[in-house]
Chains A and B, each alone.
Chain A
Amino acid sequence: MDQQDRIMDGDLQTLGLQSILKMLALSGKTGKLFVSSGPETLSISLRKGQIVGLHEDGVPQPDILGMLCLINKLDPPRAEMIRELSKGDMHVALAMLVERGWMNANEMQQRLEFAVTQSISHALRWVNGRFAFHRQLVPMESKLRPLDVDSVLLEALRQADEWEKIASEGVTQFTRTTVARWQPEVSNDVRSLGLNQESIEVLCLSNGELSLQAVALVLMAPEARIARVMAHLFELGLIEVVDTVLETELQQDLSNIIIKCQYTLVQHRNTTNVEQHLLGLVTTLSECINGLLIHHGTYAKSLRGRGHVPSIEIVRYLEGCFAQHLRTLAKQQFSILDTATFHYGQLDCTDILTLNKVVKGEQLEEFYWEAVQGLAAFLRVIFTELLRDEVGNSHTGRQLTVAWRIFLSEIDHDIQQYQFYRAQRKTQRRGYENIQPSALGMVPNWSAAPDNNGGFWSPETRRRSI
């Protein structure tokens, strides 16, 4: 952007956004007005004094297509198709919907106008910040019909006043970036709660993913009104406010645990015999369990927001949550888990990991196999409990569940290969040596099973483990 194109700039405290826009409209200017406050920047494109486009930096573009699906105005397959083609550009997406006859042109115009008004209304409330007007060319392909500055300002100011009003009523915890989600405990039919249509729509859109701004955009209702509805739903105990910072941290921590365990799993694929491989799985599973226990000691709902919690209390909490599950698994199915104990909030698997000092051969393999199955079952229990407690049925929760299932499928793949090996060995012992599982397409390169030259795992598995 050339400095010579900048024909006006200044401080918002000296000249407010309202005055700047009026001035540019009256003089019929063409160019781009940049207004910034903190990390947020608004760029308003003007042609001959009329608004022809607006872009907000520092604020993620709402997923308009996903939201239209949520309010049953668009089919998910169509939304997916448009999403692919529009590459996340809301204006392009709306234009495509109109082109295909899935939205009428008036609705598109209304939605674009509303988005412009909403953004300007937000910026009108900025006290500190700067502005600059550049007389550069404005793109011609704008989907928005030119808007009269006066009418946009009138509606934007009205919406800004509404924010001031609800703030004076004490509704201060809801801002345009607030994300709300319905309480996981609420399972009543919402129609029986006596809520009006707008409240029901807001409740349905409070999925832990959409911001208040996005909900207002899709319902084409002023943000302040949505904030008031959310405050009411919050009072009724129907929704909770999502702490996005905490959830980001929580997701990062769990992602790191999964990536670390996947790495450990892959490293153990280099092993050349069955016992070593099973031992590798035991190591991976116990490492993963202990990683999740440490994580839960930090992010468990009942331990949050209490400042520094003594470690003994965390240990007691973790053992209270999971020790019973471990005992049940040991009692009902996997007796080897009796040798694994909780020690300062961590699962101590030393006895299993050092079994090779006590037993050898097939018996060792059997113990390891039982430990793998038992720990895999326990790992599933821990993750399910942990997610339910920490994030509930939220967008983050669903995302993590998918990632977790994918990781478990990698573990299951290794477990299955061992199961095929066991099946093959049994078959051979019964005198069916001629039948090769590899011929059935189950395990490639199976014939070299467990030898001393690395033939246990298929070349593909070994290659992936390098």
Chain B
Amino acid sequence: MVEPTVLVVDDSPTVRKIVQMTLQREHIRVITVGDGLSALTSVADEMPAVILLDIQLPRMDGYQICQIIRKNLQFRQIPIIMLSGKDGLFDKMRGRLAGSTEYLTKPFDSVELVQTVKKHLANWQERVPVPQQNVRHRLRYRG
């Protein structure tokens, strides 16, 4: 049985490591990247079951990445959990408009993180479509 993978996108190596360590302890497979373009590549290559996405990222911000994923038929069902230090209503609204599934405010609690990820990992096989070959070309940045 193939394990579900969680993709963590954050420019802080500390956050990446802590999230990876916390989820791996729960026997969840984790891959991490530090910028927006690598995130899109990983989405196409790994077909993650859940994406944890920071908003402030080099080259392309979290809102843009979220919109690109949501416009793609292959990946639009993947739950995206936004991670951000901004906890204002406007920021949460903006995240929702971009297509995020849930919003976690930094500094987040490890237990809350695990609970949120597990909630979205339930029934992941039913939700995520069967991977197809050569899907990377479909993920294009359209501004």
Contacts and interface: CB of A to CB of B under 8 A. Distances in A.
A273 interface: no
A464 B11 contact: yes
Interface stretch (B71-79, B94-102, B108-116, B132-140): B108-116
Interface in A383-424: 399-400, 402-403, 406-407, 409-410
* Minimum-distance CB pairs A-B, first 5: A263-B107, A252-B110, A260-B107, A60-B27, A407-B14
A251 B108 CA distance: 14
A406 B17 contact: yes
Given A87-B29, A406-B14, 15 more contacts: A61-B27, A88-B29, A251-B110, A252-B22, A252-B110, A255-B21, A258-B18, A259-B108, A262-B12, A263-B106, A400-B21, A410-B13, A464-B56, A466-B56, A466-B85
Contact of B2 (A60, A87, A460, A464): A87
A259 B25 contact: no
Interface of A: 55, 60-61, 87-89, 248, 251-252, 255-256, 258-260, 262-263, 266-267, 399-400, 402-403, 406-407, 409-410, 460, 463-464, 466
B89 interface: no
B14 A256 contact: no
Nearest to A252: B110
Interface in B8-64: 11-15, 17-18, 21-22, 25, 27, 29, 56, 58
Contacts of B11: 464
A399 B21 contact: yes
A284 B110 CA distance: 20
B25 A406 contact: no
Contacts of B106: 259, 263
Interface centre among A258, A260, A402 (most CB of B within 10 A): A258
Contacts of A409: 13
Interface of B: 1-3, 5, 11-15, 17-18, 21-22, 25, 27, 29, 56, 58, 85, 106-111
Interface of A is mostly: helix
Contacts of B1: 55, 89
Contact of B107 (A55, A262, A403, A406): A262
A267 B15 contact: no
A214 to B, nearest CB: 13
Contacts of A259: 14-15, 18, 106-108, 110
A262 B111 contact: no
A258 B14 contact: yes
A255 B21 CA distance: 9
23 contacts: A61-B27, A87-B2, A87-B5, A89-B1, A89-B3, A251-B21, A251-B22, A255-B110, A259-B14, A259-B18, A259-B106, A259-B107, A259-B108, A262-B12, A263-B106, A266-B12, A267-B85, A406-B13, A406-B17, A410-B12, A410-B14, A464-B12, A466-B56
Nearest to A466: B56
Nearest to A395: B25
Contacts of B2: 87-89
A258 B3 CA distance: 28
A60 B107 CA distance: 29
A409 B58 CA distance: 19
A248 B25 contact: yes
B127 to A, nearest CB: 17
A403 B110 CA distance: 14
Contacts of A251: 21-22, 25, 110
